[in-house]
Amino acid sequence: MAGTFKFELVTPERMALSQDAAQVVVPGVEGDFTVLAGHAPVISALRPGIIDVTLPDASKTRIFVKGGFAEVDAGHLTVLAERALDVEAMDAATVAAELETAQADLASATDDAGRLAAASAVERLRGLGR
């Protein structure tokens, strides 16, 4: 790997993660994008989906995020997430509860952006339930 950068994941409640990473795949609203050390500066809104983190030792972490923003520069990736859950720690009940919330959000969405975000959350959570 060419190098590492600092990856920070922040939710309204806390700093969920702060560690060095070799690569992070982020679910941007315009599609997934991969962040490596030296990435050009970018700010992107997130859609609900999975952040795939590759650590310097090549181990991986997967985190479900429900939306928010990612800010990238050459040495940092900061994700400000509305909600973040460690995929490995999510049991069937957690997935089911999150899915129920996402389906309720979808049913009550009043605009296309809201419907799209809620539908994306439903789709990703259904994938986790398998």
Residue 124: CB atoms within 10 A of its CB come to: 21
Residues 100, 78, single domain; the answer is no
Q: pTM here?
A: 0.76
| CA 63 distance to own-chain centroid | 6
**Are 53 and 99 in a shared domain?**
no
Domain termination site, one of 86, 103, 120: 86
Strands 5-10 vs 23-28: parallel, antiparallel or unpaired: unpaired
64 plus 12 within the same structural domain: yes
Residue keyed to tokens 């795949």: 25
For the chain, the average pLDDT equals 87
Number of domains in the chain: 2
Based on the fold, state whether residues 55 and 16 are members of the same structural domain.
Answer: yes
Confidence class for position 2, pLDDT limits 50, 70, 90: low
pLDDT above 60 (res 130): no
Residue pLDDT, tens place only, 36-56:
999 999 999 998 888 999 999
Residue 33 has pLDDT above 90, yes or no: yes
Nearest by Cα to 48 from 104, 109, 13, 99: 99
Strands 5-10 and 76-81: parallel
Residues in the chain: 130
Domain that holds residue 112: 90-128
pLDDT tens for each residue of 57-82: 999 999 999 889 999 998 999 999 98
